[in-house]
């Protein structure tokens, strides 16, 4: 791992625990499995998510940067930055101006403490430091928590497309970022 930022943890200051966000230099399937495993999905969906993440790790250092949040040493959250190729759509990532945030997860028992917001701000800073001026992301229209989060962080819809299954709609959002 490289690059660690100290992460404030609301309400826990007196315990002096340290939460950090690190950039992964290797794929860490155990960590992402621990995070996704805190959600009660059907086993098939769980396996699908982990298989996708394993595939995505093959692009580490080429097209993707992975950020992992640890709390008290344990993996609790993650998000990816896609630099160039996202769903074959240059409006989502173009390697120059536009980058894409993907696969944001926060362990379930730590929701609503502002940790996903911190991870998103971190990925925005990291994208801006790499010279990108716009960050995009996709979210299913019925993902109330994530839609609420991105609205609060001032992401704006610029188009829609079909989600994972034909009945799902994906909102594509973007935000101007600066150093």
Return the residue of 117, 121, 159, 163 that touches ligand COA, per CB under 6 A: 117
Q: How far is the CB of 96 from ligand COA (least distance, A)?
A: 24
- Binding to ligand COA (CB under 6 A) within 46-105 occurs at 104-105
Q: For Cα atoms 111, 107, 149, give the angle at the middle one, nearest 5 degrees.
A: 45
**Residue span 18-47 as binding mask against ligand COA, x where in contact by CB under 6 A, dash where not:** ------------------------------
Q: Which is nearer to ligand COA, 2 or 112 (CB)?
A: 112
Structure-token pair, residue 158 = 């610029």
Q: Is 115 in the site for ligand COA (CB under 6 A)?
A: yes
The number of CA neighbours under 13 Å toward the Cβ of 130 is: 22
Report in angstroms the alpha-carbon separations of 85 from 14, 55, 64, 143, 156. Answer: 43, 14, 9, 24, 21
Among all chains, which residue has been given the structure tokens 């098939």?
Answer: 44
Would you tell me which residues interact with ligand COA (CB under 6 A)?
104-106, 111-117, 139, 143-146, 148-149, 152
């Amino acid at each position: 791992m490289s690059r660690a930022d100290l992460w404030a943890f609301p309400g826990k200051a007196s315990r002096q625990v340290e939460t950090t966000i690190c950039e992964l230099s290797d794929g860490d399937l155990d960590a992402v499995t621990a995070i996704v495993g805190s959600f009660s999905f059907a086993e098939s969906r769980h396996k699908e998510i982990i298989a996708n993440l394993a595939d995505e790790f093959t692009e580490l250092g080429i097209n993707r940067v992975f950020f992992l949040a640890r709390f008290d040493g344990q993996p609790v959250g993650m998000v990816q930055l896609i630099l160039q190729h996202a769903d074959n759509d240059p409006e989502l990532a173009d390697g120059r101006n536009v980058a894409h945030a993907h696969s944001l997860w926060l362990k379930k028992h730590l929701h609503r403490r502002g940790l996903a917001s911190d991870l998103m701000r971190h990925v925005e800073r990291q994208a801006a430091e790499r010279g990108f001026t716009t960050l995009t992301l996709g979210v299913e229209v019925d993902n109330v928590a994530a839609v609420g989060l991105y609205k609060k962080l001032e992401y704006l819809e610029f188009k829609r497309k079909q989600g994972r299954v034909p009945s799902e709609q994906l909102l594509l959002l973007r935000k101007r970022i600066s150093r």
